[in-house]
Copies of this chain bind each other. A is one copy, B any other.
Amino acid sequence: MESNMIKKADRLNSVSEYYFSKKLREVDQLIQQGKPVINIAIGSPDLNPSKEVIDALHEAMVLPKVNQYQSYKGIPALRESMANFYQNFYEVALNSNEEILPLMGSKEGIMQISLAFLNKGNQVLIPNPGYPTYTSVTNLVEAKPLFYNLNEEENWLPNFNEIEKNDLSNVKLMWINYPHMPTGATATLKNFEKIISFAKKHQILVVNDNPYSFILNENPLSILQVDGAKEIAIELNSLSKSFNMAGWRVGMVVGNSEFMNTILQVKSNMDSGMFLGIQKGAIAALNLSNNWFNELNATYLRRREILWKIFDLLDCVYQKEAVGLFVWGKLPSEIKCENFTDQLLYENNIFITPGTVFGSNGEGYIRASLCVSEAILEEVLQRLIEAKK
């Protein structure tokens, strides 16, 4: 009945199923078998957006044209809110008409930027460890990942001496992601300056993926704060984590107008504009004051205290100055992290992420999420205390 003759495109041969989707199927099966599995692996914010955001969506539904196609670039008020947000929280001045492009989530931006700038065979610098989508999208557009190592000794920052041992003449794009997922490492302005000068030297477009800068981070930075950064760098940002709106699908890409127009050429052929109700909700979120982040982080602080205790019980070492939505911990011994997390799953019914999901340099580490209530984290803690007895 099914066709064997119509073959999928070659680009799909390099893309395999995401670890999480396979593992989550197994977790679901365990739960269906009656196992009381607690999932502390996934970074999908469980807290609600601000009431203003929900109200704005409800109120939008009576607006004229709310059900009609929207502009690819979003309504001007959305781009203006994004410009104000960058001004207020990063002190970066952006022209809301030319230097901001709203996206249906920053994940969509990874594909659109890759289609906009990469030819088949171009190389792309990708952090190891890092977000797996950089690699799968690079493969999907038939460019080639050139992984650069990050390690704890160098605070998970790129080592340019090591990178420059490669022939970089075919490298077109570099993904960076500070605050860094999964490790929670931050880059200083000085670090960003070094990245920008490396990029200028080699004429490599740098994209900083910046969704985590407001979570447990005293000093949110944008790479565009570096003088002259706009010549060579763009930035992705997202409302998913900052405003608990992951399911709403709102992000943005910002940078010079030439780069934005190139991305828009791709985007306008791939989708249509964002639902007006969602745009209105996003505007309400972006207009929130610093209080929003203070309250959000108070919750995450309390949760992190418990996660730290959990990591202590697991004999995992973590950096207290790490930021973002996760705790990243070094395993005590030479045990393989996937064996460690499988043991936790099968013996203690606790699902946590092995570091190798993010690349080979994640070996020896695990990642746990702050998107879990204190009550549930306390339950995890109790289980581990019981198990130790």
Contacts and interface: CB of A to CB of B under 8 A. Distances in A.
Interface string A36-73: 00000000111011000010011001000111111000
A178 to B, nearest CB: 21
A100 interface: no
B3 A107 contact: no
Nearest to A42: B69
A389 B146 CA distance: 71
Contact of A67 (B15, B108, B231, B246): B246
A9 B269 contact: no
A269 B11 contact: no
Interface in A1-50: 1-3, 5-12, 15, 18, 21, 44-46, 48-49
A117 B65 contact: no
A118 interface: yes
Given A1-B230, A247-B65, A258-B3, A111 B269 contact: yes
A289 interface: no
Nearest to A11: B115
A266 B136 CA distance: 9
A322 interface: no
Contacts of A18: 268
A132 to B, nearest CB: 9
Nearest to A257: B2
A272 B246 contact: yes
A115 B8 CA distance: 9
B269 A137 contact: yes
B247 A70 contact: yes
Interface in A216-263: 230-232, 240, 244-249, 256-259, 262
**Interface size range of chain A in the complex:** 35 or more
Contacts of A11: 115, 119
A247 B275 contact: yes
A6 B173 CA distance: 9
A105 interface: yes
A52 to B, nearest CB: 13
A383 to B, nearest CB: 24
A6 B117 contact: yes
Interface string A267-302: 011111111111000000000000000000000000
Contact of A275 (B140, B203, B205, B275): B275
A104 interface: yes
A265 interface: yes
A6 B259 contact: yes
Interface string A109-135: 001000111111000000000000100
A36 B119 CA distance: 46
Contact of A118 (B9, B68, B248): B9
Given A107-B271, A117-B9, A140 B266 contact: yes
Identify the 6 closest CB pairs spanning chains A and B, nearest first: A44-B69, A8-B262, A44-B68, A111-B270, A5-B203, A136-B269
